[in-house]
């Protein structure tokens, strides 16, 4: 059995595991990590000993993931991402729910705070209230008549490997409102981490989408972000509330829908709303549908 102190090097072991899993070559993994062959091997041995299962199989000097290794890889990457975000102060919790801050290269921060879904009925935009009601009435099915009311306003994603592929952009959605239909529709067929408005926070967003889809429920976030509305333009402040809901395509396969209402009525701890910009009046989506 491994010594108790081995848990203190969890991050290093996870980095060795995920790097070797992606390269499947010990020499390449060592170069990427700036480590040694002995260290990487030791990290893998300790992980396998702790978990009681083999993560790799080695045949003719070629590494391949075992079934257990393949099943463990995504969770290991999430643990690394969460740990790094926590260490750098990008993620916290407020009332047990997520509070996130990411800085992009231009130093325009993205703030996100999760709120209880029940808050929609207290002070949520009518658009989000309609979305929640439609989701309930449709029993989470995208092809149900009850969803037709909000279909023009939602973006829909399908799981693609460990990412999310955009398959529908509503012509009245927030992204179409902000960037125009041509730019918005260019996101169709593109995974989330490579879409037209990709940012450093996308990896965290993928994790959020995974959780909502897995639980098959709803999630409410208040968000403040800087967004460049034209290529080469400096980011402009945008405030919005976002409702995510797990749902189903007509064939029963899982989907994830994003309904966003551009509104200046957001509540985010650690963000002085009096001293940050607002969504332009002409872009607001605080109307009934």
Summary mean pLDDT of the chain: 88
Residue 231, pLDDT above cutoff 80: no
Give pLDDT, residue 96: 86
Sign of CA dihedral 75, 80, 82, 83: positive
Which of the 8 DSSP states describes residue 10? Answer: H
**Sequence ranges of the domains in the chain:** 4-82, 91-283
pLDDT for residue 107 is more than 60:
no
CATH architecture for the domain at 91-283? 2-Layer Sandwich (3.30)
- Of 85 and 185, the one with more pLDDT: 185
Residues 6+ apart with CB under 8 A from 280: none
200-225 confidence digits (pLDDT tens): 566 677 888 888 988 889 999 999 99
The residues facing 100 across adjacent strands are 91, 112
- Residue 150's pLDDT is 97
Identify the pLDDT of residue 194.
Answer: 67
Which pair of tokens denotes residue 13?
């072991």
Task: Kindly report the three-state secondary structure assignment for every residue of 233-252.
Answer: CCCEEEEEEEEEEEEECCCC
- Whether 22 shows a pLDDT value over 50: the answer reads yes
Closest by CA position to 26, among listed 43, 9, 11 = 43
Q: For residue 8, what pLDDT is reported?
A: 59
Mean pLDDT of 235-256: 94
Q: Domain 4-82: which CATH class? A: mainly alpha
Do 44 and 20 meet the contact criterion of CB atoms below 8 Å apart? yes
| Distance between CA atoms of residues 180 and 135, nearest Å | 26
Q: Compute the average pLDDT of residues 127-137.
A: 97
pLDDT at 198: 55
Q: Identify the pLDDT of residue 1.
A: 46
């Amino acid at each position: 059995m491994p010594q108790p102190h081995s848990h203190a090097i969890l991050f290093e072991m996870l980095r060795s595991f995920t790097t070797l899993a992606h390269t499947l070559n010990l020499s390449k993994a060592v170069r990427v990590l700036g480590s040694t062959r002995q260290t990487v091997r030791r990290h893998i041995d300790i992980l396998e000993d702790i978990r009681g299962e083999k993560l790799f199989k080695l045949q003719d000097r070629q590494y391949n993931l075992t079934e257990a290794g393949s099943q463990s890889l995504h969770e290991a990457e999430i643990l690394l991402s969460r740990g790094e975000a926590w260490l750098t102060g990008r993620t916290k919790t407020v009332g047990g729910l997520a509070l996130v801050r990411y800085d992009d290269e231009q130093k325009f921060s993205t703030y996100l705070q999760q709120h209880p879904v029940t808050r929609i009925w207290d002070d949520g935009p009518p658009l989000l209230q309609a979305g929640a009601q439609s989701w309930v009435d449709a029993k989470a099915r995208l092809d149900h008549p009850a969803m037709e009311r909000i279909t023009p306003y939602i973006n829909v994603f399908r799981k693609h490997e460990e990412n999310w592929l955009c398959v529908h952009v509503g012509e009245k959605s927030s992204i179409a409102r902000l960037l125009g239909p041509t730019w918005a529709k260019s996101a169709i067929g593109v995974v989330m981490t490579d879409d037209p408005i990709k940012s450093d926070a996308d990896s965290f967003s993928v994790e959020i989408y995974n959780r909502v889809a897995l639980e098959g429920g709803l999630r409410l976030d208040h968000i403040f972000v800087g967004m460049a509305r034209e290529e080469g333009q400096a980011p402009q402040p945008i405030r919005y509330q976002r409702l995510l809901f797990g749902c189903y395509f007509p064939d029963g396969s899982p989907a994830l829908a994003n309904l966003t209402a551009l509104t200046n009525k957001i509540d985010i701890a650690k963000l002085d709303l009096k001293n940050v910009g607002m969504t332009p009046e002409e872009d607001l989506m605080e109307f009934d549908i």
